[in-house]
Amino acid sequence: MKAVQDVLDLVVHLPLNVTEPETAPLKEQYHVRYSFPLFVLCDQKGSVITRWEGYMGADRFISKLRQSLADLTTIKERVDRFEENPTYRDAIILAQYSSSIGQYLDARDYYKKASTLSQKDFSYEVFSNVVQAASLAQLPFDDALDAADSVLAKPSLKPRQAIRTIQTLTGVARSLDKTDYLGKYLESGIKISSKHFDAGFKKPYELMVADKILYMEKDTLGAIAYKKKTLPNGWESKPPEYYAFALWCLDRKINLGEAEQFVRRAVQKINPGSSRSTVLVTLAKICRAEGKNDESLKILHLAIEEDDSNEIAKTLQEEWTSSPTH
């Protein structure tokens, strides 16, 4: 597209694959993680000005790059300037950058400072980074609960943000085995979502009811039965539906035998290449959760054969090979 090429002519465009040995050091230098593609705008010395991730339309990409080129201050320069003279704009830019590279505690602090400098409410942004930090054991889980409470106490809180907060907290609590703390949050989410079915809240409602049955009532079979009742007719023969159900089981580490059967069926139905590679990674995770460690590694090998650019499969292969029994 000519418009894209025109804006790329304003920079030195250097496409790189950081999975290659000769460019691998750049992966750490520029904090490359799981989201691709990653765009990093640097000055002539390689210092980062800004970065953004993911696919986007041509118009949005052009707008983003032109906007970035309008201010060529590097992140390091902003950090130095902020220490001397904190401003709202620098606080927001540094908060967004810190969050994007996984420096969640720094992002939390920048958002708090942005709130002080502007009197704007950034409680949700603070929560998002606190809960990420808690998931990595950088903060106690209680801090995530406190941050969630701050969001949910906002008088102007919109239902969608409330549900998103509760679902995010639930996911992290699940990963940390802290689900006993979720009672009041699930009750609140169920109450809010039940009032807004017409606005698309039926699915969140059903997910939270299932989690309440599972975590609060401690009824695993009841949660599975309820989840199946919420699925559309004929879901067992529809790959997107039974694959999604298998993911739901995997996330909660329940009903793994049936989940494995569904994902194995999905592997046979999905198109070869990156899509099948992704499904194979899911199958490997299920086998790992079932204690089938050798088999999970073999499946990861197949995932990489399907798509050599699957960084998640490669990372898991490295982690599981170095820790074969955990």
Give the integer Cα–Cα distance in Å for 241 and 230.
11
Which amino acid does the sequence have at 148? A
Give the integer Cα–Cα distance in Å for 294 and 284.
10
Averaged over successive runs of 10 residues, the pLDDT of the chain (326 residues) comes to: 81 78 76 76 92 84 88 95 96 96 96 96 97 97 98 94 97 96 97 87 96 98 98 96 98 98 96 95 97 96 93 90 70
Q: Rounded to a whole number, what is the distance in angstroms from the first to the last CA of the chain?
A: 49
> What does the pLDDT read at residue 24?
72
179: its two tokens:
């689900």
> What does the pLDDT read at residue 89?
95
**Tokens 């894209």, residue?**
4
Give the integer Cα–Cα distance in Å for 132 and 81.
27
Q: What is the 3-state secondary structure (H, E, C) of 41-79?
A: EECCCCCEEEEEECCCCHHHHHHHHHHHHCCCCCHHHHH
Residue 126 φ then ψ, to 5°: -60, -45
Cβ atoms of residues 168 and 153 within 8 Å:
no
90: its two tokens:
């620098």
Within 13 Å, how many C-alpha atoms sit on residue 187's CB side? 7
**Reported pTM:** 0.86
For 54: left if phi > 0, alpha if psi spans -120 to 50, otherwise beta; the answer is left
**Tokens 């049955």, residue?**
213
| DSSP structure class, residue 231 | S
Give the integer Cα–Cα distance in Å for 54 and 323.
31
**Helices (H), ranges, the chain:** 2-8, 25-29, 58-69, 75-84, 88-100, 104-118, 123-135, 141-152, 159-175, 183-194, 202-211, 220-229, 239-252, 256-269, 274-289, 293-306, 311-322
Give the integer Cα–Cα distance in Å for 208 and 166.
9
Query: What are the percentages of helix, strand and coil residues in the chain, rounded to 5?
Result: 70, 5, 30
